[in-house]
Amino acid sequence: MKKIVILISSRGSNLQALLEANLPCRVAAVISNRADAQGLEIARKHGIQTAVLSHKDFSDRAAFDAALAATVDGYAPDFVVLAGFMRILTAEFVGRYAGRLVNIHPSLLPAYPGIDTHQRALQDGIKIHGCTVHFVTADLDHGPIIIQAAVPVLCDDTPQSLSARVLCEEHRVYPQAVRWLCRNQVWLDKAGRVASDRLEQPGSALISPGLE
């Protein structure tokens, strides 16, 4: 059975969705860069080993990432799963786990990398927003896309209401992506593209606002 390590920074709702999804893998550990991350308690309740590595204890990003890699490697995971891990990773760290490091981001990438995605989406007046699971590359919030979910933006949305609608979909697509990875049904090919042995299953169009 495959082994994964999950990296978090705070709330841990995606972590919880992953832990409750009955995935075909063992979660070897949950690692946080913050000791007060609520997700640590979620991990403990599920009997998962936890570790805290504060970035504040290191002089620079490279030193933190080297220590993080040493901690991660101690669990010998097949995949490293970023679930709300809010640290920019160095190219060295990302390269070490090429094809084995995935992230979830609350926008339809490549739109809205970075923070405050829901607020920026509302400011721009876009009608469809969503979330993305992708392989991590050295470019922040970029990388080959495994799965996306789209949601309508409603006229009375606030960043909070839109965030909640997107988060519901995050909790559906992230377990799906990790399941595909652990079953070797999706992988990063030599050309750096997402490959899959699955038949394409086109869904229906999301039109927002809806047609009359």
**Which residues are CB-neighbours of 31 under 8 A, at least 6 positions away?**
5, 6, 7, 8, 50, 51, 52, 53, 68, 71, 72
Dist. CA 123–CA 24, nearest whole Å: 40
CB 39 within 8 A of CB 11: yes
Sequence-distant (6+) residues with CB within 8 A of 207 are: none
Residue closer to ligand GAR, measured from CB, 14 or 90: 14
- Rounded to whole angstroms, the Cα distance separating 32 from 158 reads 29
Residue whose tokens read 């999804």: 21
Q: How far is the CB of 87 from ligand GAR (least distance, A)?
A: 10
Q: How many residues does the chain have?
A: 212
Question: What is the set of active-site residues?
Answer: 105
- 67 or 167, CB closer to ligand GAR? 167
At its nearest, how many Å lie between ligand GAR and the CB of residue 82? 7
Q: How far apart are CA 188 and CA 136, in angstroms?
A: 11
User: Least distance in Å: CB of 198 to ligand GAR?
Assistant: 23
Q: Of 73 and 116, which CB lies nearer to ligand GAR in the complex structure?
A: 116
In the complex, least distance from residue 6 CB atom to ligand GAR, rounded to whole angstroms: 10
Choose between 39 and 175: whose C-beta lies nearer to ligand GAR.
Answer: 39
**Which residue ranges make up the site for ligand GAR (CB under 6 A)?**
8, 10-14, 39, 83-84, 104-106, 141, 167, 170
